[in-house]
Amino acid sequence: MRTTSLPARILGALTATYGVAVAAEPALLLRPTRLGEDRAHLILARLVGLRDTVSGLTMVVAPSPSALRVAVAVRVTSDLCDTVVLGVALRGRPQRSKTVAVTAGWALLCAASAWPLRSSTARGDRR
C-alpha cells in the first residue's frame, strides 16, 4: 500500500465502520437528525448504512490509485447527496446546520484524501 493512498483508505475504513454501525443500529443516524424512528426511517437508515459500508470497503480494497480515485468520487458524491437531501428534509429544524456540516465536512475530507492520488497518477504511477 502506497503512503499516498493511506488517508483515503483510513477514511474508507472509518466510513465502513460507521455504515456497519448504522445498519445494525439505525438510531445512530436518526436520533441526531431527529427524523423519527418509524419503520420507513429505520429502513432508509439501514440502506444508508449498507451503502456507506460498501463504499467505505471499496475505498479500502481499491487495487490501484485510479480505482481508489473512483471509489473516493463515489463516496464524495454520496455525502453531497446526503447533504442536499438531509438539508431539505431538515429545513427549519435546529438539527439542520449540524447535519449539513457533518455530511459536507465528510465529503470535503474524502475529496481532500484523493489529492495525493492525483499527484501520484500525474507522475505516471499506475499501480
User: Domain for residue 96, yes or no?
Assistant: yes
Q: What is the pLDDT of residues 36-48, one digit of tens each?
A: 999 999 999 999 9
Number of domains in the chain: 1
Which residue is associated with the grid cell 504511477?
Answer: 125
- The pLDDT of residue 118 is 76
Show the DSSP H helices in 2-127 as ranges: 6-24, 27-33, 39-61, 65-89, 95-113, 115-122
- The pLDDT of residue 120 is 45
Q: What is the pLDDT of residues 55-100, one digit of tens each?
A: 999 999 999 999 999 999 999 999 999 999 999 999 999 999 999 9
User: Domain for residue 92, yes or no?
Assistant: yes
pTM metric for this prediction: 0.88
Contact 82, 110 (CB under 8 A): no
Cα 52 versus chain centre, distance: 6
Give the whole-angstrom CA distance, residue 77 versus residue 59.
Answer: 14
Contact 108, 7 (CB under 8 A): no
- Structural domain that includes position 38: 3-122
Which residue is associated with the grid cell 436520533?
Answer: 31
**pLDDT confidence band for 119 (50 / 70 / 90):** low
User: Domain for residue 127, yes or no?
Assistant: no
User: Domain for residue 51, yes or no?
Assistant: yes
